[in-house]
Amino acid sequence: MKGLLNRSLEKKQKIIIYYMDSNNQVTERYVRVLEIKENSILAYCYYRKKVRTFNMENILSAGRVRKKVVS
């Protein structure tokens, strides 16, 4: 997961994370990493349209955003 976060930071790529929020709800967020700290990341959240801090321990998984293919 660290490699994917670093790639998002370096290449300014949008990624998807599954995140446990403060109410213990799992949320799906599309983000672009702006800064990586020891226990958190600073990222632009496309859902909230704001820069947000995400705790590393609450990120359940992360993945690349796949582009939709139109047949």
Q: By C-alpha distance, which of 40, 37, 29, 35 is closest to 9?
A: 35
Whether the predicted pLDDT of 47 surpasses 70? yes
Q: Residue 71: helix, strand or coil by DSSP?
A: coil
Q: By C-alpha distance, which of 52, 45, 44 is closest to 29?
A: 45
Whether the predicted pLDDT of 68 surpasses 90? no
Q: Decide which of 32 and 68 is more confident.
A: 32
pLDDT for the residue 43: 98
| Mean per-residue pLDDT of the chain | 92
* Entry pTM: 0.85
Domain architecture of the chain: domains with CATH: 2-64 (2.30.30.100)
